[in-house]
Chain A
Amino acid sequence: MLKILIPSMFMLLTTWTSPFKQLWSTILMYSFLVATLSLTWLAMPTDTGWFYINNYMAYDPLSSPLLVLTCWLLPLMIIASQNHLAVEPENRQRTYISLLISLQIFLILAFSATEMIMFYVMFEATLIPTLIIITRWGNQMERLNAGTYFLFYTLAGSLPLLVALLIYHSSMGSLSYLSLTSLPLTCSNLYANKLWWMACLLAFLVKMPLYGVHLWLPKAHVEAPIAGSMVLAAVLLKLGGYGMMRIMIILDPLTKELSYPFIILALWGVIMTGSICLRQTDLKSLIAYSSVSHMGLVAAGILIQTPWGFTGALILMIAHGLTSSALFCLANTNYERTHSRTIILARGLQMVLPLMATWWFLASLANLALPPLPNLMGEIMIITSLFNWSFYTLILTGLGTLITASYSLYMFLLTQRGPIPHHLILLEPSHTREHLLLALHLLPLLLLIAKPELVWGWTA
């Protein structure tokens, strides 16, 4: 564990001491090295055990896919940011890279935390670099509002979580994951216990986001620069899912009654945000709302608390992380050429950029959960476990799948097919860097078809 964490910390030093001409290549190589080393976390001899490195950091089949995703994403973010940062002065480029690296350090610490307060501190710590990336390097005036919404929605949810964790700590004595399974809070039917349950989950529901509290996400995703959008979509939303999975253990048996409205809200959110996607004119906003839609399904899968639900949620989180990040990279290729996020401004691109159309095709297919991609596996497992709980959820989830397919196809057809408008004939051709970026996103996704056991979580 420390083999990955300490090199990541020293990457900060490398950022500031590299000669400027070799900065990006050095950091890219270094982060690829760390990412490759992190793949060793996926090899787990047992299915459910914890792998300790020290008292404070450990990983298990639930957190290792997310850790690998985090480490994998840093080189991808570096590749994606190279173009738009090239015009900036030297120190600002180094600062930007330092922010990305510090984000990775906090995320590694968050996913490998063995104690809930450590997880909480790192969960909150990821807000600061993200806030700075969004508000300092975003491109439009609305980014300040986006940063404020992002920070305050997350904090308003997580401060009650802190109080709830401290309450649990004062009555149970320990918040270590290793002992959580044997220390459920004894349930009495006091109203205060229900408030405590709510306080435990609210932070993660806001982060995921659940449909009613999702307002920060379209703003933050749209206004962030490409690396910010990538890390938000791919990993930061999964922090919410991961936290929810960890804390569900202590929330029994209240969850049996109390989760009802949230499952329904999550499923309704799948449909609502999917429908909003069909009416979007802004490409990044479409992808952001599609993120809300997929994460609504993840939230429902976690709240159901069955093995298939958890497995489906974890697979969908990993697959959605890669897919959504790939879609944001594709949207960024459009943005760098036309400096606009309007979909209809960059339509019919297959005529001009045919190879990029391949990536658009693959990413859209992944988004609409085509078999045999892991996206489908996750969705099918969640839908099945929901169906097992209640037949009527099939209406909502089936409709949600249909709408997801419609807007993914809509996005693909509108950006790629059709006649190319006259102002786009002289577009800059695709860079090899962009092809590399998308290949690195979609290749793991395709490889996961062969061995989904790597990201299955606890299910044997």
Chain B
Amino acid sequence: MNPYILTILLFAMGLGTTITFASSHWLLAWMGLEINTLAILPLMCQSHHPRAVEATIKYFLTQATAAAMLLFASITNAWITGQWNLEFMSYSLPTTLVTVALALKIGLAPLHAWMPEVLQGLDLTTGLILSTWQKLAPFCLLLQINPSNTSLLLILGLASTLVGGWGGLNQNQLRKILAYSSIAHLGWMILVLQFFPSLTLLTLLMYFVMTFSLFISFKVNNSTTINSLSMSWSKAPIISSMVPFILLSLGGLPPLSGFMPKWLILQELTKQSLAPLATLAALSALLSLYFYLRISYAMTLTMTPNILLNALPWRLPSNQHTLPLAITTSLTICLLPLTPAIITLLTL
């Protein structure tokens, strides 16, 4: 893509999120979200492939619906309370509507159906932006409005973890697997939103780091299906040996850093006397772990038979910048002992 256009689009994307971050008026927040959506649309369909265009259209429709619902909820709130401030939403109808609208925006179950199909139509880099950057603005709003509708949030959260787990089990396309993993992690974030919002932020940031590592690892191998991962041991052996750890970290296994958010969320839920919910959420993480394990089997823990008759992929010298991958992989694996420091940082 023309670098000037790319600059303008990326700038607009950043601008949109920043406007939402900085806003305390509902109209400004909505405007930021819309700018964000509109800026990413050309990025999504830049390859002009019909599948990419289809994904763009689906994304646009769902995000526009969510934004319209958000606008409607804020107008209702203004009608009832007479003010447009974000933090002072005390009536249940606008709050519930806002929560549902934001759930559609980020892709929580049961409003998740667009996510796998949209991610599948994009290339890995745009998919990464969709999974990480686009979640920041809606979460900023969710953290500020203090939703008090307990059962709604718990249902959204638990349904997301279960759908994220079960939905990914039958997939062999990596981008759909990443979409379902995103849904599951978002579920964990929503579960603890009303009890300990800093943990939501922690989970979100940890998820960003882990999923960044995974997306970039897949991009280095230029693979989008599980089968094509099997030759990665010859292209990039060290990355292949690190990916099982990234995947197990996403699955939440100690002593990797992915265990940190799950542990802290379970602790908070048990403190709030929600132990059966905590157990159910923890066991639903096992579903996601199954397909993470399957990917790691295909990539690292088995060796494909070397069929010399077929054309092997060329091992060209790569000038990919792998420093961000190195940083985020190290963080994904080694951050658990720093948990007390991180908690202190987030609860300042």
What is the interface of chain A, defined by CB distance below 8 A to chain B?
Answer: 91, 95, 106, 120-122, 124-125, 127-128, 132, 135-136, 144, 147-148, 151-152, 155-156, 159-160, 162-163, 166-167, 169-170, 192, 199
Contacts and interface: CB of A to CB of B under 8 A. Distances in A.
B266 A127 contact: no
Interface string B247-267: 010000111100100010011
Given A148-B293, A152-B286, A166-B270, A121 B254 contact: yes
A163 B282 contact: yes
7 contacts: A124-B253, A136-B300, A136-B301, A144-B302, A160-B282, A162-B266, A163-B266
Contacts of A106: 255
B60 interface: no
A143 to B, nearest CB: 9
A128 B253 contact: yes
Given A121-B259, A163-B266, A166-B267, A135 B301 contact: yes
Interface string B213-252: 0000000000000000000000001000100110010000
Contacts of B266: 162-163, 166
Contacts of B115: none
Contact of B286 (A127, A159, A192): A159
Contacts of B263: 162
A106 B289 CA distance: 22
A155 B301 contact: no
Nearest to A134: B301
Given A160-B283, A170-B271, 19 more contacts: A121-B259, A122-B254, A124-B259, A125-B255, A128-B248, A132-B301, A144-B297, A144-B301, A144-B302, A147-B297, A148-B290, A155-B253, A162-B263, A162-B282, A163-B270, A163-B282, A166-B267, A167-B270, A169-B267
B279 interface: yes
A163 B255 CA distance: 17
B270 A155 contact: no
B240 to A, nearest CB: 11
B343 interface: no
B275 interface: yes
Given A135-B297, A136-B300, A144-B302, A163 B244 contact: no
A122 to B, nearest CB: 7
B301 A152 contact: no
A155 B262 CA distance: 14
Contacts of B245: 128
Contacts of B279: 159-160, 163, 199
B278 interface: yes
A145 to B, nearest CB: 10
Contacts of B256: 128
Contacts of B290: 148, 152
A147 B290 CA distance: 11
Closest 9 CB pairs of A and B: A159-B282, A166-B270, A135-B301, A125-B255, A121-B254, A124-B254, A136-B301, A170-B271, A163-B278
Contacts of A135: 297, 301-302
B244 A132 contact: yes
Contacts of B248: 128
Nearest to A124: B254
A95 B300 CA distance: 13
A440 B63 CA distance: 67
Q: Which of B245, B248, B255 has the most CB of A within 10 A?
A: B255
B262 to A, nearest CB: 9
A144 B300 CA distance: 12
A151 B248 CA distance: 11
Contacts of A144: 297, 301-302
Contacts of B282: 159-160, 162-163
B241 A95 contact: yes
Contacts of A120: 254
A192 B279 CA distance: 13
A226 B293 CA distance: 23
A190 to B, nearest CB: 12
A132 B297 CA distance: 9
A95 B241 CA distance: 10
Nearest to A164: B275
Contacts of B286: 152, 155-156, 159
Contacts of B253: 124, 127-128, 155
Contacts of B301: 132, 135-136, 144, 147
Given A124-B254, A163-B275, A163-B278, A151 B293 contact: yes
Interface in B281-300: 282-283, 285-286, 289-290, 293, 297, 300
Interface string B23-50: 0000000000000000000000000000
Nearest to A160: B279
A112 to B, nearest CB: 15
Interface in B92-124: none
A127 B253 CA distance: 9
Contacts of A192: 275
A124 to B, nearest CB: 4
B241 A159 contact: no
Contacts of A159: 279, 282-283, 285-286
Nearest to B272: A170
Contacts of B237: 91
